[in-house]
Amino acid sequence: MNRALLQLVVARVREILRQPEAVFWTFLFPVLMSVALGVAFRGERPDPASVVVVEGPGASLLEAALLPDNGVKVRRAGREAAEAGLRTGKAAILVVPGDPLTYRFDPTRPESHLARLRVDAALQRAAGRVDPVPVREEPVTEPGSRYIDFLVPGLLGMNLMGGGLWGIGWTIVEMRIRKLLKLQLATPMRRGDFLLSHALVRVLFVPLEVVPLLLLSRLLFDVRVAGSYGALALVSLLGAVSFAGLGTLIASRARSTGAISGLINLCSLPMFVLSGVFFSTSRFPEALQPWIRVLPLTALNDALRGLMVDGAVLSALGAPLLILAAWGAASFLVALRVFRWT
């Protein structure tokens, strides 16, 4: 590394560490937020579906038949209150006594659908149905297969993206607004060194973003890394560099903080939704899949999930790693060409 690049990195690191509030917002806050999300979506046993037996002749018998099933929560209510419960989502299904028995439910609500199956099975069995095939249930909650195991790599990816876009985009635009750049431009400082120093600083701070989150999710939710830690470090660094490039690119022309925060949101919000942070990308239509797959955050999330959940080796992650590297290199090179220095 040449001396100017080293000094630029050192100066930037000093500046960051001398702003405790920046350290909090950039590094600690995303981790805390991720933990909060983890707590909210830790995906323990689903709440039992709420079943309402509508008052009427035979209602108490129906209720008694459903009570032993702890997969549902049964109560009785008048017709009107029951309908209101169904409308507002407080009831998954209404059981209306009569002949025939009526199930009222919205089939597009997954929990209603589930409740219908459970209720029907319980009522039929209570009425004397005998299942011809004996079955035994074996509940499994292995680490690795839970929602939280899916979520943590997504949050890691999201944090690495946020760090690159905000950490670099915002900083560069602020330097431009305050005309800090101009004085350095009159020196023989190489422009590539300046841009590169920001990416290097990001790399240095990656451990601060990754390690606390991994540690906390291990302690709180027993989330494990199936693959190697070395590979995880490498993928995180590549992700950081890739988003550093993107952050530099979107900061290359912006002249106000309003413009840069708009651009950052424009980049990051679609990826929050499309790139599989909170739910799998497979929920989107087939036609969109090729586009979703080449997004940098999708690539990063895929690689991180491959490592943490499936225990993949690096060589199996060629495609996402290549996509990340391409995004990083391309945006850095374009940024260098179109960058507005003054």
Partner 1 sequence: MRSSVSVTGLVKRYDKVTAVGGLALEVFEGECFGLLGPNGAGKTTTIEIIVGLLAPTSGEVRVLGERWGENDPLLRSRIGVALQETRFADRLTVREVVTLFRSFYPKGRDPGEVILEVGLEEKAEAWTVRLSGGQRRRLALACALVGDPELLVLDEPTTGLDPQARLRMGETIRSYRDRGRTVLVSTHYMDEAQRLCDRVAVIDRGKRIAMGTPSSLIESLGGDLVVEFVLSGGEVSEEDLREVDGVRGVRRENGAFHVTAGEGHVTVPALLDRLRDRGATPGRMMIRHATLEDVYVNLTGRHLRDE
Torsion of CA 170, 176, 177, 180, to 10 degrees: 120
Residue 342 in contact with partner 1, rule: CB under 8 A: yes
180 binding partner 1? (CB under 8 A): yes
Interacting residue with partner 1 among 179, 287, 290, 315 (CB under 8 A): 179
Cα–Cα distances (Å) from 267 to 65, 270, 333, 337, in that order, read 54, 6, 18, 20
Least Å from the CB of residue 172 to partner 1 = 13
Residue 183 near partner 1 by CB under 8 A: yes
- Is residue 15 a contact residue for partner 1 (CB under 8 A)? yes
> Whole-number minimum distance, CB 19 to partner 1, in Å?
7
Is 8 a binding residue for partner 1 by CB under 8 A? The answer is yes
Q: Closest distance between partner 1 and the C-beta of residue 6, in Å?
A: 7
Size of the site for partner 1 (CB under 8 A): 23
337 binds partner 1 (CB under 8 A): no
Regarding 187 and contact with partner 1 (CB under 8 A), the answer is yes
Q: Does 23 help bind partner 1 (rule: CB under 8 A)? A: no
330 near partner 1, rule: CB under 8 A = no
* Cβ nearer to partner 1, comparing 181 with 267: 181
Segment near partner 1 (CB under 8 A), from 35-43, 76-84, 149-157, 186-194? Answer: 186-194
CB of 23 to partner 1, least distance (A): 12
Q: Of 7-15, 95-103, 115-123, 213-221, which segment contacts partner 1 by CB under 8 A?
A: 7-15
Shortest Cβ distance from residue 171 to partner 1 (Å)?
A: 10
Closest CB to partner 1 among residues 14, 87: 14
Determine, following the binding rule CB under 8 A, whether residue 336 of this chain makes contact with partner 1.
no
Nearest to 16 by CA among 180, 226, 204: 204
Binding site for partner 1 (CB under 8 A): 3-4, 6-8, 11, 14-15, 18-19, 178-180, 182-190, 342
